[in-house]
Structure 1
Amino acid sequence: MTHADPLELRTDVLVAGGGPAGAWAALRAADAGADVVLVDKGWCGASGATAAAGTGVWYVEPDPAARETAMASREGLGGYLADRGWMTRVLDETYAGMNELADRARYPFPRDDAGREVRRGVQGPEYMRRMRTLVRRAGVRILDHSPLTELLTAADGTVAGAAGTRRQEGVDYRVRAGAVVLATGGCAFASGALGCDVDTGDGALAAVEVGAHLSGMEFSNAYAIAAAHGSVTKTAYYSYATFYRADGSVLEGAGSTRGRSVIARTLLTEPVLCRLDHAGPVEQAAMRRGQPNFFLPFDRAGIDPFHDLFPVTLIAEGTVRGTGGIALESPHCDTGVPGLYAAGDAASREYICGGFTGGGSHNAAWALSSGSWAGRAAAAHALAGPRPVPTAGAGTVGTGRTAARDVVAAVQAEVLPYDKNLMRHADRLRPALDRLDAVWDSVREGLDGGSWRVREAAAMTAVARWMYTAALAREESRGMHKREDRPGSDPAWQHRLEVGGLDAVWTRSAAAIGAAA
């Protein structure tokens, strides 16, 4: 921490995170009459996975048949762990929110041949630029480049604000608040995925430090296909691809939705090549309009991805594209800790995706919806009574001689390799978890490297331990969690798995989900 006098603020609602979930939370809280402060590790409107690219949105007209198809389409992929009640609420909130984005923010949705606006996707930079404008117009105070480093609690354990660092000013801050919304994103373990540099699991660590727990952490081994020379992880475009071995033969079984494990196994011993050769002229033009940044690395390298072969890789996206995160206690997105709410990728998305990634569209809908619910609920909580008085910070990591960058490298060595995280086996998971436990011990002894970098390293370590503990506890294969030593799904495991704890990590079974139709 810095040595200058900290910036001291008071507010009704503090929102941590400036992506879509944080922006919607701040907007809804302000609309409800609350005074709101938003802090972001980066620059609200430009940092995070959404701001870096375009994304689909799970936007479905309120037609019963269309809604039924939308909900049923991914239940099997998710291992039947999703909840129809949550799905219905997300579809309703997303439909209303996208329409509001068109009316209130004048978002320029494209039009179809009949002249009707198509609201099933957004261009991330424009979307987040307009969301920042809405948030500022609502009177929200934004602290950019101000990562949260710990939550503040009152004597009774109620969350009463947060502390952090203003990176560019070199000054710490303390915000006393009546409620806090964690919308800090997931954890991609600094893998290099585009826009995910701020996604290091900070919110999950802060939540567990005050008594919250997580759910779905075994479903956090998402890997996205990307060109080997780039960082853009828009895997949907690879549905138009054929994959090849280094000798030019077709790599059978490889694919974007199903078949990434085939690509991963092959990459362990040889390059995998690709060509988007199933996209015709119409699709090619639409793809360039829809995701122009997807093509920038190819254009700069002089590669035509529709005709030229190019090498691909798989980049870990962890809980950003996985479904694990902070468990929610009710539709209000409360965490079970008074005064603390969670939204977006910081929260579990099992409620609508089960155990398989929702990709961009479901995550975008979840960010809008959960952010809106959390913001409204946080405002109601904060305005209902006196603001709690902080008596202590909840941070559990001090400073010492262990370099934060060394901790990050040690964690990455356990969670990035395909044969440990994607192709799971107890014989590899247990030794990896043992090494991560040892890393956590060094974290607890103290880290060196600046307060917010320390928190990033500690959070990545904690998330990795929760992830592998849950992966070992779920002794079956379901959703994206594939155990080579436990192939096939077991009906006895059709329930969610909760995980928590810091020094002693624990797991427990949540209520069983209804039997598959």
Structure 2
Amino acid sequence: MVGRFEVINTDVLVIGAGGAGARAAIEAASQGADVVLASKGPMGRSGITPLAQWSFEATFGYSDLDNPEVHFYDTVVEGRYLSDQNLVEALAADAAQRVLDLERYGTLFKKEQGKFRQVKIPGQSGPRSVMLVGGGHGMMLGLKREVRRHNNIMVMEDVVVTSLLSSKGIPAGATVLDCKTGEFKTIRAKAIVLATGGYEELWLKTDTPPESVGDGLRLAYLAGAKLVDLELLLFYPVVASYPPSIQGIIIPYECCLEPDYVGGRLLNGRMEDFLPPGSPPVRDILIRQMFEEIYSGRGTPNGNLYLDLTKSPKAEEEVRRVVLDIIPEVYRHLLELGFDICRQPIEVAPVAHYSLGGVRIDEKGQTDVEGLYAAGEVAGNIQGANRLSGNALTETQVFGARAGKAASDYSKAREEPVIDPAQVEAEWERIQNLLSRKANSLRPGAVRKEVQEIMWQYAGPVRSELGLTRALDELQRVRDNDLPRVWAGDTLKYNNDLIRALELETMVDVAEMVLRAALLRKESRGHHFREDYPVADNQNWLKHTVVQLVGGRMTLSTMPVVITKKVPPPEEA
């Protein structure tokens, strides 16, 4: 016990049980460490990974272009040279082995004549994306099965990690709220891996689950870690947007628009084709073309565009065959909702999809804080300013394994840390305050939407100094006037409002970091578009923005991008 609260002892605490967290736990346990794997919801049925599509980038030497060097080159170039290249080298080098691991765990991949089936998507020099059966959900089935094989992994589901604890400046564990029982507990850990996913829910329009608010970023920030490139948020181009019953369903444009597959077209509200013929561009370029149509008044009456597979030169039967081969779950889901995309146009628009910024790590997944590691989408210096389709799932497995091993190694050399009861009591008081009714109280959902609207309006696809500054002013008003009035009800057990209230504090903090980083980067690169600085500036801005807590204050700075092989020409972005 620490004071009046139960203590769970472990070697490695992994926060987040999606693709990266599960793989980190497996690796740490395989190295002999005792592991606690903490999940905000049911493992395999919550978080971002189960929603992912089928693409996983890995090379197997099936052709001259199917090798780690080409994978490295494509990732760096399409990341607009903002990836730390030492990490991209690791990504490309380990990808194939991680696929073989998943297959050993029971994850299914599409194969042809005994070889992994690979397809080519925009930005790839040649076919490299292997195809997961069931997408991210299918990957999680294998990972969950493997986690269960390890008796030294304790899975805690439906728990919220509310704070990290420290001993002599080094993370020593965490406080957690068990949402099923209402119990507040402490976990003592020698090493911690953050695998909490992204922060897309800061924006009003997104295709991610509601828990994607940046929990891990705030935990790392308060621990003193460096957060890089938080202004970089990837918008996915083609997401069902109208009617409301289908909003948020990703429709993989890599399949639907590519002439070698379906060959459909994107149309504006006047039913005009606005893309050049041939293969579609990569995501950051495509969304700018799409928003140009929408912001110029050529969108649909609902402010969207049309995806029209009936414009394919192929017969309807062939279109349906390809769709059922590559994106069967998406097709059937839309069909159940009354939309046959092989027979009718559907309204689509870009939405917030993937967090490119995050915690700075090295090749082992080590952050700038001793004993603290990060893997997956919560890490920020791998994908750069734009991400290739499939590299997200690859990243979860490559850096999940690396962080898990490094955390296990570190835990073996560290003595059991001492938990400070005062830190635990202070966190308990913070939670109790959210359960105390205030005068003119506000429920967290209303304030959450306010934050999302601020971020979408001023820090969405098009940004400017004027808009970002206004957003900071409005966010400060929320912090000063609304946050102190948030009331989350009066119970700890199964209290969704309490979870949302805890998330709201995170959202306000992370939103401020994003806005300040966006103001700092005075250029346009990848998915960060400043209308007052509309071009990339490699001379002055080929570097990371950095947000860090120093002396109790939020500080902003920059640091160089790690370049090992591919040096960008000054004019290229």
The reply to whether TM is greater than 0.5 is yes
> Quick check: 1:278 aligned with 2:312?
yes
Distance 2:482 2:406 in 1: 34
> Quick check: 1:226 aligned with 2:239?
yes
Conserved 8 A contact 2:236-2:350: yes
Distance 2:184 2:414 in 1: 28
In the alignment, what sits opposite 1:341? 373
Q: Which amino acid aligns with 1:12?
A: D
Distance 1:326 1:443 in 2: 28
Choose which of 209, 214, 235 in structure 1 pairs with 2:227.
Answer: 214
Q: Which amino acid aligns with 1:199?
A: S
Judged with a 3 Å threshold, the aligned counterparts in structure 2 of structure 1 residues 96 and 479 are, in CA distance, closer, same or farther, namely same
Q: Which amino acid aligns with 1:124?
A: G
DSSP-derived class of the 1:508 partner: strand
> Quick check: 1:387 aligned with 2:416?
yes
Identity of aligned residues (%): 25
Distance 2:485 2:410 in 1: 35
> Quick check: 1:311 aligned with 2:347?
yes
Conserved 8 A contact 1:48-1:198: yes
Conserved 8 A contact 1:13-1:378: yes
In the alignment, what sits opposite 1:356? 386
Distance 1:160 1:37 in 2: 14
Q: Which amino acid aligns with 1:111?
A: K
The Cα of 1:100 is off from its aligned counterpart by: 1.7
> Quick check: 1:434 aligned with 2:462?
no
Conserved 8 A contact 1:46-1:129: no
The Cα of 1:248 is off from its aligned counterpart by: 2.4
Root-mean-square deviation (CA, aligned residues, Å) is 2.7
Structure showing greater radius of gyration is 2
DSSP-derived class of the 1:147 partner: strand
Q: Which amino acid aligns with 2:396?
A: A
Residues 41-89 of structure 1: per-residue CA shift (max 9 Å, x gap): 0111221222134331111126885322222224333221223322221
Judged with a 3 Å threshold, the aligned counterparts in structure 2 of structure 1 residues 221 and 438 are, in CA distance, closer, same or farther, namely farther
Conserved 8 A contact 2:545-2:557: yes
Choose which of 433, 439, 456 in structure 2 pairs with 1:416.
Answer: 456
In the alignment, what sits opposite 1:85? 86
Choose which of 184, 187, 197 in structure 1 pairs with 2:210.
Answer: 197
In the alignment, what sits opposite 2:254? 236
DSSP-derived class of the 1:57 partner: strand
In the alignment, what sits opposite 1:488? 535
Choose which of 494, 503, 514 in structure 2 pairs with 1:456.
Answer: 503
Distance 2:145 2:547 in 1: 38
In the alignment, what sits opposite 2:519? 472
The Cα of 1:98 is off from its aligned counterpart by: 0.9
Conserved 8 A contact 1:477-1:483: yes
The Cα of 1:273 is off from its aligned counterpart by: 1.9
The Cα of 1:374 is off from its aligned counterpart by: 1.0
The Cα of 1:195 is off from its aligned counterpart by: 4.8
The Cα of 1:181 is off from its aligned counterpart by: 0.7
The Cα of 1:141 is off from its aligned counterpart by: 0.8
DSSP-derived class of the 2:76 partner: coil
In the alignment, what sits opposite 1:508? 557
Residues 79-115 of structure 1: per-residue CA shift (max 9 Å, x gap): 212233222211222211111222x313332221x33
Conserved 8 A contact 1:220-1:467: no
Q: Which amino acid aligns with 2:266?
A: F
Conserved 8 A contact 1:267-1:313: no
DSSP-derived class of the 1:33 partner: coil
Choose which of 130, 155, 158 in structure 1 pairs with 2:170.
Answer: 158
Q: How does 1:93-112 map to 2 (within 5 A)?
A: 93-102=94-103, 104-112=104-112
Distance 1:442 1:216 in 2: 29
Unaligned runs of 5+ in 2: 119-129, 258-262, 489-496
Q: Which amino acid aligns with 2:455?
A: V
DSSP-derived class of the 1:432 partner: helix
Distance 2:545 2:319 in 1: 41
Conserved 8 A contact 1:55-1:364: no
In the alignment, what sits opposite 1:296? 332
> Quick check: 1:249 aligned with 2:266?
no
Residues 398-422 of structure 1: per-residue CA shift (max 9 Å, x gap): 63545322331121011224x6421
Distance 1:76 1:211 in 2: 31
In the alignment, what sits opposite 1:188? 200
Residues 222-278 of structure 1: per-residue CA shift (max 9 Å, x gap): 244211233222443453442223332334579773332333344454412221233
Residues 447-487 of structure 1: per-residue CA shift (max 9 Å, x gap): 43254322211122222211111111011111211111102
Unaligned runs of 5+ in 1: none
- The size of the alignment, in residue pairs, is 503
Judged with a 3 Å threshold, the aligned counterparts in structure 2 of structure 1 residues 442 and 381 are, in CA distance, closer, same or farther, namely farther
The Cα of 1:442 is off from its aligned counterpart by: 4.7
Q: How does 1:163-182 map to 2 (within 5 A)?
A: 163-182=175-194
